[in-house]
Structure 1
């Protein structure tokens, strides 16, 4: 019989519309990494702000803030053009690291969730500037429609 350590709460990221997309689901084995692809929400968006939380609620404010990252230097382009891979990694010691990489430029940033990072992030989301920064939250990549089948007619 094997016993596995599991994470007791989900870990996710806030997206446009004020909801949370789960990156790692609760009861996932410890020592795991999950990623999702997101994109910009506005034309010529210069950066993307990522608010990471733990909890089961759909609203970020009802979850515990773990970290905030800002991926800067996104080149001007129409919304939904740039792809950003957002990852959450949980190591064997239950330490969570978040990263974001612009798949077009290769620029990457990361942060490890620890008490001071959590305090800074919580202070930021409670500050007056959060309303403006929140507009730089990501959106999920739009679903692509597969091309129609090729006919031999």
Structure 2
């Protein structure tokens, strides 16, 4: 696993960790994934029972803007500036792979489209997948394609 892979995994792990600190960052991470090795997808709710929101980040491009900062610092900035308190509704696309990512039929409102990060409607290669453990586990029909799996505890 190269440095980029480790950095993107640390970035997403930190976003999930921060989502559990409700007093500081009131959002709930529902699912994260690494797609095609360099795109981070975060699906979250701004509050319990709120709408599902999605953001995509081409991590190498994002990290370059932070000039060598740790993935944890990048995640903190993204939470504060991009995830917390979204001010607009997102676009519903109903990508073919969306249900496998979030294990629900509820639509994701994309605040930044997967296409903008290079992810198409075709089933992406999901190499790391987190699904909020408070949710029901996915059924066989909705499990992510490829080598997607929940991280080990």
With normalisation by structure 2, the TM-score equals 0.31
Q: Which has the larger radius of gyration?
A: 1
| Greater helix proportion | 2
| Greater strand proportion | 1
With normalisation by structure 1, the TM-score equals 0.31
